[in-house]
Chain A
Amino acid sequence: MIPAIAYDEVGNELPHRPAALEIEATDVYRLLRPYLSVRFFEQFRAVMPLVVYLALFQLFILRETIAEAGTITFGLVGVIVGLMLFMEGLKVGLMPFGEAIGITLPAKAALAVVIVVVFLLGVGVTFAEPAIGALQTAGSLVSVERAPYLYTLLNHFTMPLVLAVGVGVGFAAVLGTFRFLYGMSLKPFIFFTLVPLLVLTAWMALHPELAKVLGLAFDCGAVTTGPVTVPLVLSLGIGIAHAAGKGSDSLSGFGIVTLASLFPILAVMGLALYVANTVTPAEIIMAHSTAGAGAPTPFYDQTPWAEIIGGLRAIVPLVLFLLFVMVVLLRVRMRHPGIIAFGILLCVAGMIVFNLGLSYGLSKLGSQSGGLVPSAFTRIDAVPSSPLYMFVLGLGIAVGFAWVLGFGATLAEPALNALGITVENLTNGSFRKSTLLYAVSIGVGFGIAAGVAKIIFDIPIAWLLIPGYLVAGALTVVSSEEYVNIAWDSAGVTTGPVTVPLVLAMGLGFGNALGAVEGFGILSMASIGPIIAVLGTGLYIRWKIARRYARDQPRAGI
């Protein structure tokens, strides 16, 4: 049992290296079972409540059986397993890179180099974000004749679209890092982004073709801030702030998420303007009708090849970039390269399985229920007995369905729970975790309900977004710094890799069933809702404290 100590020729002790351990199959099972079950049920808990809600709603309220239940179940298992593999791979394979770079880069490289790396990292993580795949899936549901720019952006400009989003995230990461370094307030950043954003929105809303792209642009902002972007960019930013001797103050983790959800909107709008200047709607429709008659889709555009290539394309560039920074720029040797390689392999495998599950499970289920919900109040072809209820009641059911979906999905989001704990500590307990959870969830609930109402009544999205952001801007002016940080960031954390595809697909299916031009915009409403809700709650708490103080003061005087 005692290791034999070896000596070299001079008689010095050689370090003992224990041999690898051989263990039996039963031990492997006992070792892996708790490890896997914890991780499986973590994702299971995130996916299942939403799925069960959708299924029950469809069965009992809409009285429709679920078509292709077998395929959807298979796809949902894919989503759960894929997310599980991906998250574990992220932890084992990618996060050590992020941490190592965050610690060593600022010490070894000039600020300009650091900024370039941060920017490129922002672009890279966007490609690796699982929810981005949902945009591609959504593209196939848009009709080319009715929204040509939207169609071409989603189908022919997919790469530039993701790149535009990535550039937005990259700029956000750079500015967020500057904020870490110089301890700047978030408010001016918000104002300087909001002004061009709203002006551009108003201008595009006046153009009938460009107005249809607005929903997509704002939704892209919600898609970006997921489980890859936030931790990787944050770990780098915090590392830089530490190296600069600016210890992390309690608010330093905030702000990047906000900027990373605002800048991509601007970038996508810019891309839309560029497309509008190069091609006309008529050309797009022409190109589509000629291409549609042409060759069958090549094998790499069909499932499952498209998903496999998508998975590789999402992870490999990011890994190559991180490796380049580590090896060429920093000349750091990674410890345990085998484990890291295994983690990256898990990431890729997880992404592929997740993408497959997305196509077969979440997107299918979402568009199916979205497409059937209108049968509650109006006549649609898919349901012969529709409308199922009186118009007003049915409308109430549809909007209520959307509200509960948003509320429930948000309440179950693990990232929000983590934010709640941070916020409670940050405000010395005056802003309770449960208060934040409910404020954000109610905000998302109303946001999604408003988004659905927008599709039903065909309200131009700008009419909802511009007043919404104006209200949020006004509340930002009067709120204190902590609440501004919390509120704007809470909008980003609500949109995880399960909610985004489901809500996107639901909106598009809903829009298609109603014959609306496009079903985007629900996610963007779900981002603005919590901002207003949390800022409002913050002001209410401040007013309550002030009132208690004013009431206690005279008594203390006696």
Chain B
Amino acid sequence: MSRDLTILTDVSLITCIVQRGKADKVVQTAQEAGASGATIYYGYGSGVRERLGVLGLAIDVEKEIITAMVADDQADRIFERMYFAAELDVPGNGVIYMTRLEKAATFIPKDILDRVHAKGSHRP
């Protein structure tokens, strides 16, 4: 049986860095807004924390880095939702950025593939 690869285009990658323990809420928001999934890494970082003096103690140096691939036409909305879910308007809470992806591929449910083919898209 031959196996197919379907290339997805028009996708963006949203990366959001938050303090340790805060990723789950952000990921949930992203999924509710249309992201299909997210990956979390651990790391640690500095920046605003060092410039806040004693207040900086309230910021955890350990971070969670969330990456989520999203469709271009939903990207801005998800980006905005994640920004507010992570409360990035508070100093030290983290940063979010989005990059264009050239292409991506993953498992795609069969009914979706069939629907796309019925519309007349070409197979790669």
Instruction: Kindly report which residue of chain A lies nearest to residue B57, judged by CB atoms.
Output: A92
A31 near B59: Cβ-Cβ < 8 Å: yes
B87 near A30: Cβ-Cβ < 8 Å: yes
Query: How many Å lie between the Cα of A28 and that of B56 in the bound state?
Result: 10
Q: With a CB–CB cut-off of 8 A, which chain B residues contact A36?
A: 58
Q: Which of A19, A32, A342 contacts B58 (CB 8 A)?
A: A32
Q: Name the segment of B5-13, B45-53, B65-73, B99-107 touching the other chain.
A: B45-53
Interface residue SS majority, chain A: helix
Q: With a CB–CB cut-off of 8 A, which chain B residues contact A339?
A: 54, 56-57
A20 near B53: Cβ-Cβ < 8 Å: yes
Number of interface residues of B (CB under 8 A): 16
The interface bits of chain B over 77-92 (1 if a CB of A lies within 8 angstroms of the residue's CB, else 0) are 0000000000100111
B55 interface residue, CB < 8 Å from A?
yes
A21 interface residue, CB < 8 Å from B?
yes
Query: How many Å lie between the Cα of A21 and that of B47 in the bound state?
Result: 11
Q: A21-B48, A23-B91 are in contact. Are A28 and B55 (CB under 8 A)?
A: yes
Query: How many Å lie between the Cα of A31 and that of B51 in the bound state?
Result: 14
Instruction: Kindly report which residue of chain B lies nearest to residue A18, judged by CB atoms.
Output: B51
A549 interface residue, CB < 8 Å from B?
no
Query: How many Å lie between the Cα of A31 and that of B48 in the bound state?
Result: 12
Chain A 22-38 interface residues, beta-carbon cutoff 8 Å to B: 23, 27-28, 30-32, 35-36
Query: How many Å lie between the Cα of A23 and that of B59 in the bound state?
Result: 14
Nearest CB in chain B: distance from A253 CB, A: 21
A342 near B90: Cβ-Cβ < 8 Å: no
Query: How many Å lie between the Cα of A339 and that of B50 in the bound state?
Result: 11
Q: With a CB–CB cut-off of 8 A, which chain B residues contact A23?
A: 52, 55, 91
A35 near B58: Cβ-Cβ < 8 Å: yes
A19 near B51: Cβ-Cβ < 8 Å: yes
B90 near A27: Cβ-Cβ < 8 Å: yes
Q: With a CB–CB cut-off of 8 A, which chain B residues contact A31?
A: 55, 58-59, 90-93
Query: How many Å lie between the Cα of A21 and that of B90 in the bound state?
Result: 13
Chain A 1-46 interface residues, beta-carbon cutoff 8 Å to B: 18-21, 23, 27-28, 30-32, 35-36
Query: How many Å lie between the Cα of A19 and that of B48 in the bound state?
Result: 10
Chain A 310-346 interface residues, beta-carbon cutoff 8 Å to B: 338-339, 342
Instruction: Kindly report which residue of chain B lies nearest to residue A20, judged by CB atoms.
Output: B51
Instruction: Kindly report which residue of chain A lies nearest to residue B56, judged by CB atoms.
Output: A339
Query: How many Å lie between the Cα of A350 and that of B114 in the bound state?
Result: 65
Q: With a CB–CB cut-off of 8 A, which chain B residues contact A88?
A: 57
Q: With a CB–CB cut-off of 8 A, which chain A residues contact B91?
A: 21, 23, 27, 31
A21 near B58: Cβ-Cβ < 8 Å: no
Q: A27-B91, A30-B87, A30-B90 are in contact. Are A21 and B52 (CB under 8 A)?
A: yes
Query: How many Å lie between the Cα of A31 and that of B60 in the bound state?
Result: 11
Query: How many Å lie between the Cα of A161 and that of B94 in the bound state?
Result: 50
Nearest CB in chain A: distance from B46 CB, A: 11
Q: With a CB–CB cut-off of 8 A, which chain A residues contact B51?
A: 18-21
Nearest CB in chain B: distance from A63 CB, A: 44
Q: With a CB–CB cut-off of 8 A, which chain B residues contact A20?
A: 51-53
Nearest CB in chain A: distance from B49 CB, A: 10
Query: How many Å lie between the Cα of A293 and that of B53 in the bound state?
Result: 54
Q: With a CB–CB cut-off of 8 A, which chain A residues contact B56?
A: 339
Q: With a CB–CB cut-off of 8 A, which chain A residues contact B48?
A: 21
Instruction: Kindly report which residue of chain B lies nearest to residue A92, judged by CB atoms.
Output: B57
Query: How many Å lie between the Cα of A108 and that of B4 in the bound state?
Result: 62
Nearest CB in chain B: distance from A48 CB, A: 22
Chain B 32-47 interface residues, beta-carbon cutoff 8 Å to A: none
Instruction: Kindly report which residue of chain B lies nearest to residue A28, judged by CB atoms.
Output: B55
Nearest CB in chain A: distance from B93 CB, A: 8
Query: How many Å lie between the Cα of A28 and that of B48 in the bound state?
Result: 13
Q: With a CB–CB cut-off of 8 A, which chain B residues contact A18?
A: 50-51
Query: How many Å lie between the Cα of A20 and that of B93 in the bound state?
Result: 17
Chain B 90-121 interface residues, beta-carbon cutoff 8 Å to A: 90-93
Pick 10 A–B contacts, CB within 8 A, sort by A.
A18-B50, A20-B53, A23-B52, A23-B91, A31-B90, A31-B91, A35-B57, A35-B58, A339-B57, A342-B57
Closest 4 CB pairs of A and B: A35-B58, A21-B51, A30-B90, A31-B58
Chain B residues with CB under 8 Å of chain A are 48, 50-59, 87, 90-93
With A30-B87, A30-B90 known, 19 other A-B pairs at CB within 8 A are A20-B51, A20-B52, A21-B48, A21-B51, A21-B91, A27-B91, A31-B55, A31-B91, A31-B93, A32-B55, A35-B57, A35-B58, A88-B57, A92-B57, A338-B53, A339-B54, A339-B56, A342-B54, A342-B57
